[in-house]
């Protein structure tokens, strides 16, 4: 993991991504102190343009939009990160098991993975979320259910190469149990890939949460950036000048968050994936002599 941190620090994109993420996280944590009003309080007349008291104006029921957005970052970031953590954990477990055991276990798991990769993603999510009812827990469950497949497939292929390495074979020859080998020999070897997948999944999860909330499937009590846009759209904010302060800011923040995750992810991927380095699709790194990460024996 220390080598992972070192790898990131050598990349300008990685730094930029990290800075974006840390400042957004800071904003989310400091929401009670940063936001001028309580997000659910009706503090002024509805549909006010920006003013000294309400920097981004007020929404359709007179809530302060700036406060809504600052508090919304908790819902958006939280859903994205928790979903990504859960989906990557499931994906890692499946990937390691399938790759290590091979045979029918691998065949079965990969069939299921393929199924989840071809399925029309968003329509199924809408269907499931509609049945489950609007709440963040349901939304996250549905997202995890549909997002574990991609990390599983990628991690499995890495496990396949790791499995034939001599240190794994010698551990097996020494009589180590499968569980032990997977825990102490395979997992450390894929850990950096897992982190990269985690970051990528988080950026995707934030976009999907936004889409689902925009379709009215978000939590009506705790608004995320997506649900702010849902209300802005259903009150036709795009017809008037209101789109500048009601639609533009939440979308920009979603874009910024996704960029933050993507930049970090690309930086990790460039360092971790030797094939990308060889073919010239490198994102410029400061230190040229940086070596690709090799699994620590």
Partner 1 sequence: MRSGWGRQVGQYVLLLVFTLLINFALPRAMPGSPLAYLAGEDVGLLTPEQRTEILSRHGLHEPLWKQFALFVHNLTRGDLGHSYRQGRPVAEIIAERLPWTLLLATTALIIQTMLGVWLGARAAWSRGTRLDVWLMSTFMLFRSMPSFWIAMILLAVFGAQLGWFPMFGAFRPWAGHTGPAHILDILRHLFLPALSLILLGAAETFMTMRYAMLSVLGENYITVARAKGLAERDVLYRHAGRNALLPVATVFMLSLGFSVSGATVIETVFAYPGLGRLMYEAVLSRDYPVLQASFLTITLAVIVANLLADTLYAFLDPRVRI
Distance CA 17, CA 196 (A): 13
Binding window for partner 1 (CB under 8 A); candidates: 48-56, 140-148, 180-188, 210-218: 210-218
Q: Which of 47, 141, 243, 292 binds partner 1 (CB under 8 A)?
A: 243
DSSP string, 13-28: HHHHHHHHHHHHHHHH
Query: Distance of CA 10 to CAs 23, 83, 227, 265, 296, Å?
Result: 20, 28, 37, 14, 20
Distance CA 69, CA 50 (A): 14
Q: Which of 121, 145, 165, 167 binds partner 1 (CB under 8 A)?
A: 121
Indicate whether 104 belongs to the interface with partner 1 (CB under 8 A).
no
Indicate whether 251 belongs to the interface with partner 1 (CB under 8 A).
yes
Distance CA 46, CA 61 (A): 5
Q: Which of 49, 171, 207, 292 binds partner 1 (CB under 8 A)?
A: 207
Question: What would the x/- binding string for partner 1 be over residues 131 to 170, using CB under 8 A?
Answer: x---------------------------------------
Distance CA 138, CA 130 (A): 10
Q: Which of 183, 281, 291, 296 binds partner 1 (CB under 8 A)?
A: 281
Indicate whether 247 belongs to the interface with partner 1 (CB under 8 A).
yes
172 is written with which tokens? 């097996």
Q: Which residues lie closer than 8 Å to 255 by C-beta, 6 or more apart?
A: none
Q: Which of 104, 279, 288, 289 binds partner 1 (CB under 8 A)?
A: 279
Q: How far is the CB of 227 from partner 1 (least distance, A)?
A: 12
Indicate whether 211 belongs to the interface with partner 1 (CB under 8 A).
yes
Q: Which of 45, 104, 118, 174 binds partner 1 (CB under 8 A)?
A: 118
Q: How far is the CB of 177 from partner 1 (least distance, A)?
A: 33
Binding window for partner 1 (CB under 8 A); candidates: 35-43, 142-150, 159-167, 232-240: 232-240
Nearest alpha-carbon partner for 102 in 167, 164, 41: 164
Q: How far is the CB of 85 from partner 1 (least distance, A)?
A: 21
Query: Distance of CA 289 to CAs 17, 43, 151, 285, 292, Å?
Result: 22, 57, 29, 9, 9
Q: How far is the CB of 211 from partner 1 (least distance, A)?
A: 5
Q: How far is the CB of 77 from partner 1 (least distance, A)?
A: 15
Number of residues that bind partner 1 (CB under 8 A): 43
Please give the sequence-ordered ranges of beta strands (E in DSSP) within 56-205, or none if there are none.
none
Alpha-carbon torsion, ordered 264, 266, 206, 235, to 10 deg: 100
Q: How far is the CB of 151 from partner 1 (least distance, A)?
A: 18
Residues 83 and 116: beta-carbon distance below 8 Å: no
Give the single-character DSSP code of 284: P
Angle, CA of 198, 199 and 200, to the nearest 5° = 95
Q: Which of 21, 162, 193, 254 binds partner 1 (CB under 8 A)?
A: 254
Helix then strand then coil, % of the chain, to nearest 5: 75, 0, 25
Residues that bind partner 1 (CB under 8 A): 111, 114-115, 118-124, 126-128, 130-131, 203, 207, 210-211, 214-217, 226, 229, 232-233, 238-240, 243, 247-248, 250-251, 254-255, 258-259, 262, 279-281
């Amino acid at each position: 993991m220390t080598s992972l941190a070192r790898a990131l620090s050598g990349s300008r994109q990685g730094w930029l991504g990290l800075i974006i993420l840390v400042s957004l996280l800071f904003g989310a944590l400091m929401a009670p102190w940063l936001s001028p009003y309580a997000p659910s309080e009706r503090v002024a007349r509805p549909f006010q343009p920006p003013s000294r008291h309400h920097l981004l104006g007020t929404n359709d029921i007179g809530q302060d939009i700036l406060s809504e957005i600052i508090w919304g970052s908790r819902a958006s970031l939280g859903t994205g990160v928790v979903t990504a953590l859960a989906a990557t954990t499931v994906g890692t477990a499946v990937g390691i098991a399938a790759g290590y055991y091979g045979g029918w276990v691998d065949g079965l798991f990969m069939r299921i993975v393929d199924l989840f990769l071809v399925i029309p993603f968003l329509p199924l999510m809408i269907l499931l979320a509609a049945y489950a009812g609007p709440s963040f827990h349901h939304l996250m469950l549905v997202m995890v259910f549909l997002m574990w497949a991609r990390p599983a497939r990628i991690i499995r292929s890495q496990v396949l190469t790791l499995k034939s390495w001599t240190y794994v074979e010698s551990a097996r020859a020494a009589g180590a149990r499968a569980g032990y080998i997977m825990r102490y020999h395979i997992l450390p070897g894929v850990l950096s890939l897992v982190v990269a997948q985690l970051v990528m999944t988080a950026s995707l999860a934030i976009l999907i949460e936004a889409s689902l909330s925009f379709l009215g499937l978000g939590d009506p009590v705790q608004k995320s950036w997506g649900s702010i846009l849902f209300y802005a759209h259903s009150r036709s904010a795009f017809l008037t000048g209101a789109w500048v302060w009601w639609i533009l800011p939440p979308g920009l923040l979603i874009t910024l968050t996704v960029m933050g995750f993507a930049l970090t992810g690309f930086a990790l991927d460039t360092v971790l994936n030797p094939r990308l380095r060889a073919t010239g699709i490198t994102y410029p790194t400061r230190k040229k002599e940086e070596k690709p990460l090799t699994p620590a024996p």
